[in-house]
Structure formats: C-alpha cells, structure tokens
C-alpha cells in the first residue's frame, strides 16, 4: 500500500461508514512545523462530533519516524473536546535524529486500514540538528 504523507495544519474530516455514524472532525495544529533537536514538539487538537456520532471514544495518536516506523503511541486525555500531545526530542528521547516526522490521530483506536482515508488525520514536522 503506497503511503502519502500530507501536511494538514488545520482541519481534516473523519467519518466511520463501517460504524454507521456521521461526520466527525478532528483539528490538529502546531506552532511550527520546524524544530531543532532538543526542542519539545507540541500538537494541539480538537474534536467536534455530530449529533449521531458515538461519544466517549478515545483519541489515539501515533508518531512515525522518517522511515515510517512507529516510535510513540499515546491516548491523550480529552477535556472539553480538546487534547494536547507533546514529545521531547534529543538525546535520551524517542526522537534522537533529524528528518520529517508524522503524527497520525484517530477518533477511536488506531487501525492501519484507516491510513490515507478520511478516518485519520495527520500532521508532519521536521527536526534538524541546527542549534
């Protein structure tokens, strides 16, 4: 399956036709898409469910390194329909090198079959060794 990395800064639609519920929206944002090694990376997200969407499903986040390998997976706490995911970079962390990283967020549990569909939202950022 060919994977395309698409930068989404503000908005991505999510729907779950197999679960037969309406349109869900997850919004992801970052203060920057370029970080120096040693700087923390923080993603802020928001979820907006339609009236027929199931409530209470978790937000699942996966962090992929430049080689497409999952290096972190979290289920952030959702408060007032918003959440934050922060990852440290540099020596002794999950991100120790430079390159383009991808964060994928799901409403519900992560499922590889949902990649590159409207049911997953992604955002990318770059880490460089510059001081």
For 42-90, how does the pLDDT look when each residue is reduced to its tens digit (9 = 90+)? Answer: 999 998 877 777 788 888 999 999 999 999 999 999 999 999 999 999 9
Q: Is residue 59 part of a domain?
A: yes
Does 63 fall in a domain?
Answer: yes
For the ranges 27-36, 49-58, 105-114, the one whose mean pLDDT is highest: 27-36
pLDDT of residue 54: 74
Domain enclosing residue 50, as ranges = 12-128
- pTM (2 decimals)? 0.75
List, in sequence order, every beta strand (DSSP E) within the chain.
Answer: 12-16, 21-30, 34-36, 41-49, 59-64, 70-74, 82-87, 99-107, 121-128
Q: Does the residue 97 lie in any domain? A: yes
pLDDT score of 130 more than 90: no
Question: Does residue 113 lie within any of the structural domains?
Answer: yes
Instruction: Tokens 């430079």: give the residue.
Output: 98
Closest by CA to 127, choosing from 61, 44, 45, 71, is 71
Give the CA angle between residues 14, 87, 98 to the nearest 5°.
100
Q: Does a structural domain hold residue 27?
A: yes
Structurally, the chain folds into a number of domains equal to 1
């Amino acid at each position: 399956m060919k994977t395309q990395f698409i930068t989404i800064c503000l908005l991505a639609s999510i729907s779950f036709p197999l679960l037969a519920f309406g349109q869900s929206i997850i919004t992801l944002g970052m203060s920057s898409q370029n970080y120096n090694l040693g700087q923390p990376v923080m993603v802020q997200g928001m979820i907006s469910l339609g009236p027929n969407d199931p409530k209470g499903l978790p937000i699942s986040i996966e962090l992929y390194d430049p080689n497409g390998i999952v290096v972190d997976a979290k289920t952030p706490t959702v408060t007032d329909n918003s959440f934050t995911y922060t990852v440290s970079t540099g020596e002794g962390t999950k991100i120790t090198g430079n390159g383009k990283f991808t964060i994928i967020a799901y409403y519900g549990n992560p499922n590889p079959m949902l990649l590159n569909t409207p049911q997953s939202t992604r955002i990318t950022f770059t880490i460089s060794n510059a001081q």
